[in-house]
Copies of this chain bind each other. A is one copy, B any other.
Amino acid sequence: MAEPLTPTEMAGWRAYIESSQLLMTQLEEDMRAESGLTFNDYHVLVLLSEAPDGRLRMGELASRLVFSPSRLTYQIGSMEKRGLVARESCPEDRRGSEAVLTAEGLRTLREAAPHHLRSVRANFMDGLDETEIAVLTRVFTRLGERLRAERVAQ
């Protein structure tokens, strides 16, 4: 078997991985400076705000965030302390619990979103033209679908 990656592929891979690291760090820093939130905090708020009734089962949230169960327990606990979400036990399945967006959480999200999106634009989107955005969207949408499918199948 030949090299697992051609030089061209290797270059693409390295560029992607290293720049993504850089981008994440930058966005994290901006978010912290502007809103005092973590990227994870923000992502939880977004997902909850989009869910019907502002609530999601822990498992569902964990799977969308790609978080381990214990990590999500901690994350929600931390956000609960800060009043951004509440935890309610689930009526249909008494093993389960749900995270619910609070008014304070929604307010925090509304306040943070424009700053964050501006940061995304400045650090990422502004460098791309329309064709590139289209390719990225296509590539990563497909990638996500593939990986999610495999993940379910183990």
Q: Which residues of A contact B (CB under 8 A)?
A: 3-5, 8-9, 11-13, 15-16, 18-23, 25-26, 64-66, 114, 117-118, 120-121, 123-125, 127-128, 130-144, 146-148, 150-151
Q: What residues of chain B lie closer than 8 Å to A114, measured between beta carbons? A: 4
Chain multiplicity (copies): 2
Establish whether residues A4 and B140, one from each chain, have CB atoms under 8 Å apart when the complex forms. Answer: no
Q: What is the predominant secondary structure among interface residues of chain A facing chain B?
A: helix
Given the complex of chains A and B, what is the CA–CA distance between A94 and B96 in angstroms? 57
Q: How far, in whole Å, are A142 and B137 apart by their CA atoms in the complex?
A: 18
Q: In the complex, which residue of chain B has the Cβ closest to the Cβ of A27?
A: B17
The reply to whether B9 and A140 contact each other, CB–CB distance below 8 Å, is no
